[in-house]
């Protein structure tokens, strides 16, 4: 398949950034087609065919159309040349998938919406934050960080192995928003191994190239 992949979305989105990181780490030439979920009129009608739930990103490669970031990143890893972003061994791959699952199920909502949006964005816009939501989100965030910290152990990468994987790419854009909140930075500082991992991720060219424009 020779068509250049297209990713639909916006640079501020955590999930779009995850997919872009996978494309960049694999050195895949691709286009980012702008879709703004926060546009005044909502997402354009044509986009519903690509994502019936009006979320970003959506992806296209030749005749293949995908939504759901973890399906997109796994496809990108498996369909293109470049460094493998998933371990070959079933046990190690299961750990990567477990981390992605916990990030989707628990970390994203708590760390991005519950801590960053509620505690940083809303006050900036002059809105009153929901203190109870911030408190429960910080509790969930603490559990997420403790789990990730146990997983990384003494290794350089989240799944505990010697190589960057899709788990790292899934986590970093979430941490990018979480650490904009002072409480987020201080929770992260409680896990020296994760704090080092965060510095490692922040220094990657792919991470710098996908930094949101805001
Ligand atoms: N399960 C989706 C989640 C994607 C998602 O939630 N994207 C956010 C932006 S980071 C979004 O489109 N939010 C719009 C909304 O919640 O209405 C995936 O894995 O791609």
This prediction's pTM = 0.98
Environment class of 169 (CB within 10 Å of its CB; exposed 0-12, middle 13-18, buried 19+): buried
- CATH at 43: 3.40.30.10
CB of 68 within 6 A of ligand 1: the answer is: yes
Kindly state whether residues 67 and 94 are assigned to the same domain.
Answer: no
Determine the distance separating the centroid of ligand 1 and the alpha carbon of 148, expressed in angstroms. Answer: 22
Mean pLDDT (whole number) for 60-74 = 98
- With respect to residue 140, please indicate whether it lies within any of the assigned structural domains: yes
- With respect to residue 1, please indicate whether it lies within any of the assigned structural domains: no
Query: How distant, in Å, are the alpha carbons of 110, 135, 162 from that of 85?
Result: 26, 35, 11
Kindly state whether residues 137 and 70 are assigned to the same domain.
Answer: no
Mutate to test the pocket of ligand 1, among 37, 55, 59, 65 (most ligand atoms within 8 A of CB): 55
The atom number, within ligand 1, closest to the CA of 12 reads 10
Kindly state whether residues 128 and 204 are assigned to the same domain.
Answer: yes
Kindly state whether residues 55 and 120 are assigned to the same domain.
Answer: no
Q: Is the pLDDT of residue 37 over 80?
A: yes
- With respect to residue 85, please indicate whether it lies within any of the assigned structural domains: no
Kindly state whether residues 75 and 95 are assigned to the same domain.
Answer: no
Residue 214: what pLDDT? Answer: 80
Query: How many CB atoms neighbour CB 51 within 10 A?
Result: 21
Determine the distance separating the centroid of ligand 1 and the alpha carbon of 192, expressed in angstroms. Answer: 30
| Distance of alpha carbon 61 from alpha carbon 53, whole angstroms | 20
Kindly state whether residues 68 and 137 are assigned to the same domain.
Answer: no
Identify the domain containing residue 190 by its residue range.
90-209
Domain boundary among 60, 79, 98: 79
Determine the distance separating the centroid of ligand 1 and the alpha carbon of 162, expressed in angstroms. Answer: 30
- CATH at 121: 1.20.1050.10
Kindly state whether residues 73 and 122 are assigned to the same domain.
Answer: no
Adjacent-strand bridge partners of 119: none
- With respect to residue 21, please indicate whether it lies within any of the assigned structural domains: yes
CB of 109 within 6 A of ligand 1: the answer is: no
Q: DSSP E strands: which ranges in 127-179?
A: none
Q: What mean pLDDT, rounded, does the chain reach? A: 97
The string of pLDDT tens digits covering residues 90-128 is 999 999 999 999 999 999 999 999 999 999 999 999 999
Q: How many domains does the chain have?
A: 2
- With respect to residue 84, please indicate whether it lies within any of the assigned structural domains: no
Domain boundary among 37, 59, 79: 79
Closest CA to ligand 1's atom 9: 13
Q: Is the pLDDT of residue 199 over 90?
A: yes
């Amino acid at each position: 398949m020779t068509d250049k992949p297209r990713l639909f979305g916006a640079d501020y989105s955590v999930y779009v950034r995850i997919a872009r990181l996978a494309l960049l780490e694999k050195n895949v030439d691709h286009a980012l087609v702008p879709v703004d979920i926060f546009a005044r009129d909502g997402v354009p009608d044509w986009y519903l065919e690509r994502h019936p739930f009006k979320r970003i990103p959506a992806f296209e490669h030749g005749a293949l159309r995908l939504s759901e970031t973890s399906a997109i990143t796994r496809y990108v890893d498996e369909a293109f040349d470049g460094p493998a972003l998933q371990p070959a061994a079933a046990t190690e791959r299961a750990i990567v998938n477990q981390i992605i699952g916990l990030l989707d199920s628990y970390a994203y909502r708590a760390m991005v919406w519950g801590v960053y949006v509620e505690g940083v964005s809303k006050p900036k816009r002059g809105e009153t934050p929901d203190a109870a939501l911030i408190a429960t989100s910080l509790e969930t965030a603490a559990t997420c960080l403790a789990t990730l910290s146990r997983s990384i152990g003494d290794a350089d990468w989240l799944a505990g192995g010697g190589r960057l994987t899709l788990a790292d790419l899934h986590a970093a854009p979430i941490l990018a928003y979480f650490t904009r909140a002072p409480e987020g930075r201080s929770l992260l500082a409680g896990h020296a191994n994760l704090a080092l991992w965060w510095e490692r991720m922040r220094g990657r060219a792919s991470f710098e190239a996908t930094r949101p424009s805001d």
